[in-house]
Amino acid sequence: MDLTTRLGDLDLRSPLIAAAGTVGSVVDFARVGALEHYGAAVAKSVSAEPWPGRPAPRLAPAGAGMLNGIGIQNPGIDVWASEIGPRLGNVGVPVWGSAVGRSPEDFARVASALAATGVAAIEVNLSCPNLEGTGMFALEPKASAEVVAAVRSAVSTPIGAKLSPNAADIVAVAAAVTEAGADFLVLTNTVWGAAIDPVTRRPRLSGVIGGLSGPPLKPIALRCVLEVHAALPGTPIVGCGGVRSGSDVVEYLLAGAAAVAVGTAHFAEPRAGRRIVRELHRYGRRHGVRSLAELTGGMKPW
Ligand SMILES: Cc1cc2nc3c(=O)[nH]c(=O)nc-3n(C[C@H](O)[C@H](O)[C@H](O)COP(=O)(O)O)c2cc1C
**pLDDT of 232-285, one tens digit each?**
999 999 999 999 999 999 999 999 999 999 999 999 999 999 999 999 999 999
- pLDDT value of position 134: 61
Catalytic residue among 128, 217, 238, 280: 128
Which protein residues touch ligand 1 with a CB less than 6 Å away?
19-22, 44-45, 66, 68, 70, 72, 98, 125, 162, 189-190, 213-214, 217, 240-243, 262-265
Q: Select from 238, 241, 201 the least CA-distant residue to 221.
A: 241
End-to-end CA distance of the chain: 27
> What are the residues facing 239 on neighbouring strands?
187, 260
- Sequence-distant (≥ 6) Cβ neighbours of residue 46 within 8 angstroms: 74, 75, 76, 77, 80, 97, 98, 99, 100, 110, 114
Cα–Cα dist 150/127, whole Å: 16
| Partners of 67 in the β-ladder | 60, 212
The H or E element that residue 98 is part of is strand 95-99
pLDDT in tens, 47-92: 999 999 999 999 999 999 999 999 899 999 999 999 999 999 989 9
Say whether 240 is catalytic.
Answer: no
CA 65 to ligand 1: nearest atom = 25
Q: How far is the CA of 241 from the centre of ligand 1 (A)?
A: 9
β-pairing, 210-213 vs 191-193, is antiparallel
Helix H, strand E, coil C: the string for 55-67 is: CCCCEEEECCEEE
Q: Which residue intervals of the chain are DSSP H helices? A: 29-32, 77-83, 104-116, 141-154, 170-179, 218-231, 246-255, 265-268, 272-287
pLDDT digits (tens, 9 = 90+) for 101-147: 999 999 999 999 999 999 999 999 999 766 666 689 999 999 999 99
